[in-house]
Structure 1
């Protein structure tokens, strides 16, 4: 496992599916120059997902081989699919940029927190149940998928008490603004507040 240097830091975004964690992470990361370390998964891509942009989509055999070779920092099984973060990907990103972010569920965030301690900052992005249901319906999610995602809602939102920061994503622009200021406190990029 890669040992983080004093000036290196990892951010993990977590929260229920559909709350906007990926969007706010990417927008804040773009402002601050922080890039994502992609997870690997055995599930097929969703209609809107792109290989190398959302995940690394690999076969169950490829995943098992990588797991047997101890390439993953953490592995989780969710809804019969495997997800994992490769240690080498984290190490490469930190050597190149000094910081990185990941998007994981609460279990994955907890595993990495145990590994990296204070060098890892967990950020929960959430919305209330009613808003989340409305967003998923507007996005054209099937009733089956909505039911599956909502079955994880309480578990993901209750993780808020263990996170260093949490943001209710009601207004995207405000959430990104507040999040970017919070991340800058760790990165010391000294963004100028023009308000």
Structure 2
């Protein structure tokens, strides 16, 4: 795709399976790049700085806010998350397609930015399944899980803002649906 790449925005409530699905999409579509976000939260045991996120201090993040260096940023679960404006614009101008894994707040900002992203929301099959997935993950305290579930209700209510909604009830079915969306959008149909 010479000249201008496509921007994909994928959002989901915590525990909907977004990260698992995104990893598979990136394996399938070799010309699609992952836009690594910045965050102030602590890395999880399986995460690498520069690969999963750029982990920076709250002071560094706030300095970049003041300088207007974020395409979008939000404070979620008491931590900052943001996407570098210069990184995204440079990739798109080089004709690279980018996948942004961002929360609903950030997605709304990207959708209003004039970049015309392909927006995809990953839905859990039910709120009960989402709650069980968060418990089974075993990475968060009961208080953090409760906060994530409160946020999930708000996020799920905004799913209609997205161009596509994929329900992740069965991983293989959700993957097939995502593959179809990415193929259609990347082929320019």
Shift, 1:85, TM fit: 0.7
The corresponding residue for 1:193 is none
- Asked if 1 retains the 8 angstrom alpha-carbon contact of 2:4 and 2:92, the reply is no
Establish whether residue 70 from structure 1 lines up as the match of residue 68 from structure 2.
yes
TM-score (ref. length: structure 1)? 0.87
For 2:3 and 2:111, the matched residues in 1 are separated by 16
Aligned residues of 1:37 and 1:93 also touching (Cα < 8 A):
no
Separation in 2, partners of 1:6, 1:92: 11
TM-aligned CA deviation for residue 134 of structure 1:
1.4
1:140-175 CA distance string (max 9 Å, x none) = 132122111101011111111111001110111111
Equivalence for 2:158: 159
Matching of residue 53 in structure 1 with residue 51 in structure 2: yes
Structure 1 residues 93 and 6, CA gap change in structure 2 (3 angstroms): closer
Question: What are the equivalent positions in structure 2 for 1:118-129 lying under 5 Å apart?
Answer: 119-127=116-124, 128-129=126-127
Which consecutive residues of structure 1, in runs of 5 or more, have no partner in the other structure?
191-195
Q: Tell me the number of residue pairs that the alignment of Structure 1 and Structure 2 aligns.
A: 185
1:23-102 residue pairs with structure 2 within 5 A? 23-33=20-30, 34-96=32-94, 98-102=96-100
Between the aligned partners of 1:53 and 1:8, the Cα distance in structure 2 is 21
Partner-residue secondary structure (3-state), 1:115? coil
Asked if 1 retains the 8 angstrom alpha-carbon contact of 2:3 and 2:93, the reply is: no
**Structure 1: which 4+ aligned runs deviate by more than 4 Å?**
none
Contact residue 40 and residue 57 of structure 2 kept, 8 A: yes
How far apart are residue 177 of structure 1 and its match?
1.4
Whole-angstrom CA distance in 2 between matches of 1:17 and 1:60: 22
CA separation of 1:176 and 1:189: change in aligned 2, threshold 3 A: farther
* Alignment root-mean-square deviation, CA: 2.0
Compute the displacement of 1:6 (Å).
7.0
In 2, the alpha carbon distance for the partners of 1:109 and 1:179 equals: 18
- Match of 1:15? 12
TM-score (norm 2): 0.89
* 2:144 counterpart residue number: 145
Match of 2:120, SS?
strand
Does 2:184 align with 1:185? yes
